[in-house]
C-alpha cells in the first residue's frame, strides 16, 4: 500500500454509489495534487470523486505513529460509506472508530491520527464535515474565505499550537470536535481544500492570486503545491484539492 492514497472515482469499481445527477442539478469537477516536501514520507491523502460530488483531504499526524495509515483509513471511510449525501458525517464517525480500533490493536494505545476535511455537493449546497487543521476555503468576491475552523490550541509546555481534535483522538479524553455545516452554492462557485502544508507555508494572498489567475486547474494545484514546498527550507507535505461547481 503506497503512503499516499489518491482515489479517483473512475478507479473504484467495487462500489455502486449514487450519481450526483440524481441529487443535484449542479455538477462538480475536482483537481488534486500532493507533494512530499522535505519529509521522509507523505502522510497526506486526498479524494476526488466528481460522480458523487465528494472531495476530501486528510493529513496524517506526524507526531504519532502510522499517520499515513490513518489518513488512508479516513479516505477509505468516505469511499465505503459516504454512498448517499446524508451519510457524510456517519462515514467520518465510522473512520474515527476504525482508526481508534486499529491503533489499539496494532500499537496498544491510541497513537494514530489524521485530520479530515471533506465536502459533498447535494442539491444547491455543499456540506462540509471537518476535524483538525486542514482547511476549506470558498472563493467569494475575489477572496478566499475560510469556512472550516482550526481545531488547535496553544500548548504552554511545547510553546506551540497543537491539534485539539482529530480522527483517532481518544474519545475518553475528549469528544470528537466534528464541524458539520452546509452552505449554498451555485454555478461558478469555487472551493479549495488543503492540508496545513499549504496554508502554513504559503501566504493566503499568493494562494488567492493563483486561484484567480485563470490558469488550467490541474496546473494551478500542482504549482501551488510546488511553490509551497520551495518557499521554506524544511517543508511539510502539501496537498490541494480544487473544486469548480457548474
pLDDT in tens, 172-210: 778 899 999 999 999 999 999 999 999 999 999 999 999
Pick from 62, 59, 89: which is nearest to 71 by CA? 59
Q: What percent of the chain has pLDDT over 90?
A: 72
Residue 64: predicted pLDDT: 66
Pinpoint the alpha helices (H) of 39-117: 67-81, 88-107
**Rounded-to-integer distance, Cα 47 and Cα 32, Å:** 8
Strand intervals (E) in the chain: 6-8, 28-35, 44-49, 54-59, 116-122, 125-131, 135-140, 143-146, 152-155, 160-163, 179-184, 190-194, 238-245
| Domains of the chain with bracketed CATH | 6-13+26-245 (3.60.40.10)
Q: State if pTM tops 0.85.
A: yes
Sign of the alpha-carbon dihedral angle for 208, 178, 69, 39: positive
CA angle (90 as vertex; 86, 92 as ends), nearest 5: 115
Residue 21: predicted pLDDT: 75
Residue 18: predicted pLDDT: 65
Query: Which residues does 112 contact at the CB level (< 8 Å), separation at least 6?
Result: 61, 64, 65, 66, 67, 69, 70, 99, 100, 102, 103, 168
Residue 3: predicted pLDDT: 38
Residue 63: predicted pLDDT: 65
pLDDT in tens, 101-127: 999 998 888 889 999 999 999 999 999
Set of cell numbers at residue 169: 483522538
Walk along the chain (246 residues) and give the pLDDT tens digit of each residue. 333 444 443 333 344 556 777 778 999 999 999 999 999 899 999 999 999 999 999 999 976 679 999 999 999 999 999 988 889 999 999 999 999 999 999 888 888 999 999 999 999 999 999 999 999 999 999 999 999 999 998 888 877 788 899 999 887 778 899 999 999 999 999 999 999 999 999 999 999 999 999 999 999 999 999 999 998 888 999 999 999 999
Query: How distant, in Å, are the alpha carbons of 128, 150, 190, 205 from that of 143?
Result: 19, 19, 11, 8
**Rounded-to-integer distance, Cα 111 and Cα 104, Å:** 8
**Rounded-to-integer distance, Cα 8 and Cα 234, Å:** 30
**Rounded-to-integer distance, Cα 176 and Cα 132, Å:** 10
Q: Please, what is the end-to-end C-alpha distance for the chain in angstroms?
A: 35
Length of the chain as a residue count? 246
Residue 84: predicted pLDDT: 84
Contact 238, 246 (CB under 8 A): no
Amino acid at each position: 500500500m503506497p503512503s499516499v492514497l489518491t482515489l479517483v472515482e473512475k478507479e473504484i469499481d467495487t462500489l455502486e454509489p449514487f450519481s450526483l445527477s440524481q441529487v443535484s442539478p449542479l455538477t462538480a469537477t475536482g483537481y488534486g495534487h500532493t507533494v512530499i516536501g522535505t519529509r521522509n514520507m507523505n502522510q497526506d491523502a486526498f479524494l476526488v470523486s466528481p460522480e458523487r460530488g465528494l472531495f476530501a483531504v486528510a493529513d496524517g499526524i506526524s507526531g504519532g505513529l502510522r499517520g499515513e495509515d490513518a489518513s488512508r483509513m479516513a479516505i477509505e471511510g468516505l469511499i465505503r460509506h459516504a454512498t448517499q449525501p446524508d451519510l457524510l458525517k456517519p462515514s467520518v464517525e465510522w473512520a474515527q472508530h476504525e482508526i481508534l480500533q486499529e491503533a489499539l490493536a496494532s500499537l496498544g494505545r491510541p497513537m494514530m491520527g489524521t485530520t479530515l476535511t471533506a465536502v459533498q455537493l447535494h442539491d444547491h449546497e455543499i456540506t462540509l464535515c471537518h476535524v483538525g487543521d486542514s482547511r476549506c476555503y470558498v472563493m467569494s468576491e475575489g477572496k478566499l474565505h475560510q469556512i472550516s475552523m482550526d481545531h488547535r490550541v496553544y500548548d504552554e509546555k511545547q510553546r506551540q499550537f497543537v491539534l485539539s481534535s482529530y480522527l483517532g483522538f481518544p474519545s475518553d479524553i475528549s469528544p470528537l470536535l466534528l464541524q458539520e455545516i452546509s452552505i449554498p452554492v451555485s454555478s461558478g462557485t469555487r472551493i479549495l481544500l488543503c492540508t496545513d502544508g499549504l496554508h502554513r507555508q504559503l501566504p493566503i494572498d499568493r494562494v488567492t492570486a493563483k486561484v484567480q489567475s485563470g490558469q488550467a486547474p490541474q496546473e494551478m494545484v500542482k504549482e501551488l503545491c510546488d511553490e509551497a514546498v520551495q518557499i521554506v527550507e524544511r517543508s511539510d507535505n502539501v496537498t490541494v484539492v480544487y473544486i469548480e461547481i457548474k
